[in-house]
Amino acid sequence: MARLVRHDAVGPIEVKPQEKSVWVCACGLSQSLPFCDGSHNAAKKNEKPGTLCIYDKARKAVVETKPDA
């Protein structure tokens, strides 16, 4: 599975060293970027292998799906 997510940021976000692990979002769907907020769980549940999912601007809903060529 793959997804297209619109990002408006134009620069990096610093994650300073922490005492505990810090989970940085890699799926692009977090509402708390750069940190993971668990939104990837919905993607894992709803996205199907071989499908390209295009998300809305709020990164909350799939608005279109296509075969992932």
The binding site for ligand FES (CB under 6 A) comprises 25-27, 29-30, 36-40
CB of 46 to ligand FES, least distance (A): 13
> Cβ closer to ligand FES: 35 or 69?
35
Q: In one letter, which amino acid is 61?
A: A
- 37 within 8 A of 31, measured Cβ to Cβ: yes
CB of 42 to ligand FES, least distance (A): 9
Helices (H), the chain: 40-46
CB of 66 to ligand FES, least distance (A): 21
> Cβ closer to ligand FES: 15 or 26?
26
Cα dist from 53 to 25, 32, 46, 69, whole Å: 17, 20, 10, 12
